[in-house]
Amino acid sequence: MKIVVYAITKNEEKFVNRWYNSMKEADDIYVLDTGSTDNTVELLSKLGVHVKTEIINPWRFDVARNKSLDLVPQDTDICVCTDIDEVFTSGWRKKLEEVFNDSNRLRYNYIWSFDKYGNPAVNFYQEKIHSRLGYTWVNPVHEVLKCSLGNEKITTTDEITLKHFPDTTKSRSSYLPLLELAVKEDPNNDRNMHYLGREYMFYGRYDEAISTLKKHLNMPTATWKDERCASLRFISRCYRLKKDYIEALKYGLIAISESPNIREPYLETAYVYYELNNYKMCSLYLEAALLIKENQKVYINEPNCYNGTLEDLLAVCYYYLKKYDLSLEYVNKALAIDPENERINNNKELIKLKIN
């Protein structure tokens, strides 16, 4: 099989060598540079990467992706789209040849972020490996592959892992206007409506977030329960941050009913009770969340559900409820996950004083 990696880049010289060493298992590598002012182009060229420079104005991620895909030769069997701040685990090419078979696209393991101990924090499946023909990138931001094949076959594997190590200094200020454009261009795209509502929430524009997320929930195509649950809990979060606890609880409970099999809505509801100083109800929802053991690989997951936050909050709740033995049990569980957390360690000493 002829396997080609393609990517877009701008001012990422510090990632070039690491990315190339991960991607060089491919037969060839093509990069569209969108206007670097550092040494990105020179470094890539010296490594033998095919680089073309083109300014995309106005900027859109889908246009840039499509122009980078255009660089890939037509006789390529498998196209592998990555970003310069990502790396594959070694041996990915051999695994790809084994599992792709007669597929058109591959769904593989993607670690979007790590905690401070190097453990996966947000981990889901990505779908950016595909056959050369029949695919086009769409959406100005949060771009996805659109398939024109009548019988697309997608294969899923856990044997290929792509890891993301983002440049935290880069601004994401373009995302909001691009999402607004995406919704304007295609008002029936439920995924973009959800993304836009979430982005308004990130910006503290809570009323716009609530309105947009409610629009998402009312769309006939918005049927994925976990994403609906996310919209509902984001609405709950916005109301909580507005100090409207009645509406916050209402939407938190609806979020639980939508997806009772994931931890996120229970934690969102627990936060409301915590702010109301209702530690008994808060502890009940946290305990319910901890009964769920499996962290599914979907982008919608939030790291706070598996990084010790639940155990930490439970320890605090039981402390205020004067159940000090339970408080010590959960503070120890929190420290087993996050042993270097100074605040939690200090809490443990306070709990031990109460017990003694």
What DSSP line would sit under 291-332, residue for residue? T-------TT--GGGTSSHHHHHHHHHHHHTT-HHHHHHHHH
Chunk the chain into consecutive blocks of 10 residues (it has 356) and report each block's average pLDDT, rounded to whole numbers: 97 97 98 98 98 97 98 98 97 97 96 93 95 97 95 96 90 92 97 97 98 98 96 98 98 97 97 98 98 88 94 98 98 97 97 95
Instruction: Tell me the C-alpha distance between 245 and 259, whole Å.
Output: 21
Residue 169, pLDDT score: 83
Non-local (6+) Cβ contacts of 296 within 8 A are: 226, 262
- For the four alpha carbons of 286, 195, 148 and 56, in that order, the dihedral sign comes to negative
Closest CA to 203 of 238, 162, 153, 168: 238
Q: How many Cα atoms are found within 13 Å in the side-chain-facing hemisphere of 322?
A: 0
Residue 296, pLDDT score: 83
Every domain of the chain with CATH number 3.90.550.10 lies at 3-164
Every domain of the chain with CATH number 1.25.40.10 lies at 175-274
Omega before residue 220 within 30° of 0, cis: no
Topology, domain 3-164: Spore Coat Polysaccharide Biosynthesis Protein SpsA; Chain A (3.90.550)
Closest CA to 183 of 171, 197, 162: 197
Decide yes or no: CATH 2.40.50.100 for domain 175-274: no
Contact predicate 161/110, CB 8 Å: yes
Closest CA to 114 of 263, 307, 299, 265: 307
Instruction: Tell me the C-alpha distance between 354 and 324, whole Å.
Output: 7
Residue 173, pLDDT score: 84
Residue that is written with structure tokens 């060089």 in the block: 24
Taken as a whole, the chain contains a residue count of 356
Which region, left, alpha or beta, applies to residue 243 given φ > 0 means left and ψ of -120 to 50 means alpha? left
